[in-house]
A and B are shown apart, each in its own frame.
Chain A
Amino acid sequence: MEFEAVIGLEVHAQLATESKIFCACSAKFGASPNENTCPVCTGMPGVLPVLNRKAVEFTVRTALATSCKVQRRSVFARKNYFYPDLPKAYQISQYELPVALGGHVDIEIDGGAKRIGITRIHMEEDAGKLVHEGEFAGAQASLADLNRCSVPLMEIVSEPDMRTPGEGGAYLRRLRDILVYLEVCDGNMEEGSFRCDANVSVRPVGQKEFGTKAELKNMNSFRNVEKALEYEIRRQIETIEDGGEVVQETRLWDANAGVTVSMRRKEEAHDYRYFPDPDLLPLIVEEAWVDTLRKTIPELPAEKIARLASQYGIPKYDAGILASERPLADFFEASAAFFPGNAKTTANECVHWKDAIRAGKLSPETIAHAVEDRENGTVSATASKKLVELVVETGKPFRALRDEKGLTQVSDASALDAVVDKVLSASPKEVESYRGGKVGLLSFFVGQVMKESRGKANPKVVQEVLKRKLG
């Protein structure tokens, strides 16, 4: 029997606002324990939430960028449960009426395109962190750090449209890139600003009903998501083939062992008792505001890749790498604007130097000059690489360094005439051998000319001149 997998992904993205969603504490990562707290986010008696406008803005822009329908009226609801990292013993979230519904993300997979649906996007607050006292399993206590409480989160729920781990990975990467493009999230899975849970089930090919799904958690990188999905799909298929049944449960990915493990905790069907939060009035997002925000949506990854490929005639793959970071793509275009002569080379250079570009050590002009000088033979490829390294080191302009280090190569054939003549007249025997058939000696002559010119001759031009003179 042939099986297919059905995958849905739930992403929690931390919004890159300055302050928390319901209070004015800093939302930034890395403070010392309980430093970024106040009575509101620590749930003291009598405190009340007030909504951060920027968090709404970021969520609406995300909804627009994923073609969702922004709801004019949405409602915050309390999700009630007890845990030491949840100070109010409820999380303010959205339940029946979220901010956005019904969108999609387009991905490229195996040379084709696929549309992954987005069911909904809603806003909620993050919980704190619980660390376990001591490293040993017998630790008696846990320690609660509430810094992260009330950091704004956006929950993005996909339709169960993915069929392979590869599609899952592609969807996640594309979604992350969109969020980073919008500057609403820094998209860092390892640091936890972009988190993913997966719902996976399998069914015989051709069956319409979904199989029983398992929820996967604890995957902290794109690669781990794909690996966890691969493992779980195989596990479920094997279970069924062995005559067993897939249980609806939550499973944790163990990256070290490469397996998913059942949480086995008695999940007393979490009854969250959702009800509209009476401390917050409905969130009203007016059409006029949505229109204003729509104008702030930049060209998104999919469009940018297509445009870069067609406008600059570069392969989609290269365009994909450039577009994976908006500043890199912008850099490439600025560079190509300076020197449009060879966009493919410019693209390659941008990809090659992307770390330095990200660090702000190179300007678009530098790459443009590097490419231009190589194109017109002013410098050799080797020299060009060396010079760009020097720019990174010293910050001095490319051409200034080129001239300073005397790395201009001579590409003018007539200028090389004299040197070539000198070399040929100094090696009459070799000339005769060459003319006699030993064409391999060409490299010898090239070497000599290079030596004579102290490396400044353009080897390609040298070769042409030699060939012409040698006959």
Chain B
Amino acid sequence: MTITREEVLHVARLARLALSDAEADRLREQLGRLLDYMKQLDRLDTRGVVPTSHAVEMGTPFREDVVIPFGDREAILSNAPDRQGDFFRVPRIIED
């Protein structure tokens, strides 16, 4: 299956993965071959087959509307690579 370099870069952007040129080329080739293999599924007639979108067949369980505070904001913030007071700090979005 032919995947263009543009497609690889587009998918990498969707996935927020910075790729070197070498990586992009390698992935283009590998993805092409893998997706080629997977096209074997086209041989199967799946008309009328219901997709397995959920591994368990039952309705989703519910939670009652009761507040149970986690109660440890510091624990939530302490893994942050960059924080300002009680905020997570991130670089600004740059229009490009």
Contacts and interface: CB of A to CB of B under 8 A. Distances in A.
Is there a contact between chains A and B in the complex with CB atoms less than 8 Å apart? yes
Interface of A: 17-19, 24-26, 32-39, 42, 50-56, 75-76, 82, 84, 131-133, 139-146, 265-266, 268, 271, 273, 275-276, 278, 280-284
Nearest to B62: A53
11 contacts: A38-B69, A38-B70, A50-B61, A51-B61, A55-B65, A133-B84, A141-B89, A275-B53, A281-B58, A282-B59, A283-B60
Nearest to B68: A24
Given A39-B76, A273-B14, A276-B54, A33 B67 contact: no
A141 B62 contact: no
Contacts of B61: 50-51, 281
Contact of A37 (B14, B68, B73, B84): B73
A50 to B, nearest CB: 5
A79 to B, nearest CB: 13
A56 B63 contact: no
A273 B10 CA distance: 13
A52 B86 contact: no
Nearest to B96: A266
B13 interface: yes
A54 B65 contact: yes
Chain B interface residue bracket vs A: 35 or more
B12 to A, nearest CB: 13
B86 A18 contact: no
A265 to B, nearest CB: 6
Interface in B60-93: 60-70, 73, 76-77, 84-93
A25 B69 contact: yes
Contacts of A140: 91-92
B76 A42 contact: yes
A25 B73 CA distance: 12
Given A84-B90, A140-B92, A265-B95, A17 B65 contact: yes
Contact of B93 (A39, A76, A142): A142
Contact of B76 (A32, A38, A56, A278): A38
Given A133-B84, A140-B91, A144-B88, A281 B62 contact: no
Contacts of A268: 13
A147 to B, nearest CB: 10
A33 B60 contact: no
A24 B69 CA distance: 7
Nearest to A54: B65
Nearest to A87: B88
Contact of B92 (A18, A26, A132, A276): A132
B66 A84 contact: no
B15 to A, nearest CB: 9
B65 A19 contact: yes
Contacts of B92: 132, 139-142
B62 A51 contact: yes
B63 to A, nearest CB: 5
Nearest to B54: A281
A246 B91 CA distance: 34
Contacts of A56: 62
Interface in B35-65: 53-56, 58-65
Nearest to B88: A144
Contacts of B73: 34-35, 37
A82 B17 CA distance: 12
A24 to B, nearest CB: 4
Nearest to B91: A141
A19 B69 CA distance: 9
Contacts of A55: 65
Contact of B54 (A37, A50, A142, A282): A282
Given A34-B76, A51-B62, A142-B92, A278 B87 contact: no
A33 B85 contact: yes
A133 B89 contact: yes
B86 A32 contact: yes
B53 A276 contact: yes
A273 B13 CA distance: 13
Given A141-B84, A141-B91, A281-B54, 14 more contacts: A17-B65, A24-B63, A33-B86, A34-B86, A51-B60, A51-B62, A53-B63, A142-B92, A142-B93, A144-B87, A144-B90, A281-B61, A282-B59, A284-B59
A33 B91 CA distance: 18
A51 B60 CA distance: 8
B76 A284 contact: no
Contacts of A18: 65-67
A42 to B, nearest CB: 6
Contacts of A75: 53
A342 to B, nearest CB: 44
Nearest to B84: A143
Nearest to A144: B88
Nearest to A15: B65
A242 B67 CA distance: 57
A42 B63 CA distance: 18
B69 A51 contact: no
Nearest to B82: A141
Contact of A34 (B63, B66, B69, B87): B87
